[in-house]
Amino acid sequence: MIQTDILIIGAGPTGLFTVFEAGLLKLRCHLIDALPQPGGQCSEIYPKKPIYDIPAYPEILAGDLTKNLMEQIKQFEPGFTLGERADTIEKQDDGTFIVTTNKGTKHQAPVVAIAGGLGSFEPRKPPIPNIADFEDKGVEYMIKEPELYRDKDVVIAGGGDSALDWSIFLTDVAKSVTLIHRRNEFRGALDSVEKVQELKNLGKINLITPAEVKAVLGENHVTGVVVEEKGKEPYMIDTDHFIPLFGLAPKLGPIANWGLEIEKNAIKVNNALDYQTNVEGIYAIGDVNTYPGKLKLILCGFHEATLMCQSAYKRIHPDKKYVMKYTTVGGVDGFDGTRKEAPKAVVKAIQ
């Protein structure tokens, strides 16, 4: 059983910033996310796309925003359960909650903060009739452990950043990498497209466009795929793994069955006070919530996280009074023993 003060469902920007605000209040956090790494959409869908409305950053790449947030919360030592989806929630007699993931990992906390963005992300699967038969048997929709592909033949399908970036990365890991896309043009970062072109010219990536994978072959494990290339008869490619990277579709998922008030696939909250749901002790912050005037912006999620943590502190420590101090005055004390503070003024007389 993993125990913490605030259990955060979702490790996107809002969930990560919650760790910082909670840390200032001496509250520990643990985060659950279905994706294999922190950052939510910023890491998985558009890591190389710029964001222009983060305060003090005229422009910052989504992936860099995630890195900065991880650096900012490092001294508060958050825990992570990644690659698992929050499945069920049970309220205990003492008022705490036990949240269990789809893989059976249990977490207990007096406060649950749902910061799941647009929900849990499910992979968009290609319309291949027998593909479900090979899931976890050579068909993977997300790459969690690159070493799984060491010295293997790999076929990747897709035309976005994920397909490009993983094709580049796996050239140093896999025995062979084949990238298949239904168009000649790719929608990804220019430097990634140019890198794939370079690796293709060097013979390190087998690029097939325009083409689509129409069938997966094998018995107990993938042994090949059938490719339909424009202007040619379908043909087979031997491979150990087929990785279709067609993006992720957001779904509220099992959270929709937690007894929370839902409106248009979002969780209704009390925005006049603390972003608490209709269940006391469960909050919803960021894109996953809704209230009059709601804006689905990262900076709004940061604001909601800040107010939510103040309310969480009162719930966890009802007999304590918290006096807010600006970080410029009080500094920041990490759970790892580190301290950040402004340089102290030098007291010296002027002769």
Euclidean distance between CA atoms 17 and 157, whole angstroms? 34
Euclidean distance between CA atoms 38 and 11, whole angstroms? 5
For residues 30 and 81, the answer to whether their CB atoms sit within 8 Å is: yes
What average pLDDT does this structure show over 43-53? Answer: 82
Euclidean distance between CA atoms 125 and 111, whole angstroms? 35
Lowest mean pLDDT among 164-178, 221-235, 323-337: 323-337
pLDDT surpasses 90 at 170: yes
Confirm or deny that 41 is annotated as ligand binding. Answer: yes
The CATH class of 2-121+249-340 is alpha beta
Does the fold of domain 125-246 match that of domain 2-121+249-340? yes
Confirm or deny that 328 is annotated as ligand binding. Answer: yes
pLDDT surpasses 90 at 42: no
Name the CATH architecture for the domain at 125-246.
3-Layer(bba) Sandwich (3.50)
Confirm or deny that 86 is annotated as ligand binding. Answer: yes
pTM of the predicted structure, to 2 decimals: 0.72
Confirm or deny that 53 is annotated as ligand binding. Answer: no
**Structural domain boundaries of the chain?**
2-121+249-340, 125-246
Euclidean distance between CA atoms 83 and 203, whole angstroms? 33
Output the pLDDT for position 48.
Answer: 76
Output the pLDDT for position 147.
Answer: 92
Other beta carbons within 10 angstroms of residue 64's beta carbon come to 16
Confirm or deny that 46 is annotated as ligand binding. Answer: yes
Confirm or deny that 287 is annotated as ligand binding. Answer: yes
What average pLDDT does this structure show over 144-149? Answer: 88
Confirm or deny that 14 is annotated as ligand binding. Answer: yes
What average pLDDT does this structure show over 202-231? Answer: 95
239: left (phi over 0), alpha (psi -120 to 50) or beta: beta
80 or 341: which carries more pLDDT confidence?
80
pLDDT in tens, 272-328: 889 999 999 999 999 999 999 999 999 999 999 999 999 999 999 999 988 888 898
Confirm or deny that 333 is annotated as ligand binding. Answer: no
Q: What is the mean pLDDT of the chain?
A: 92
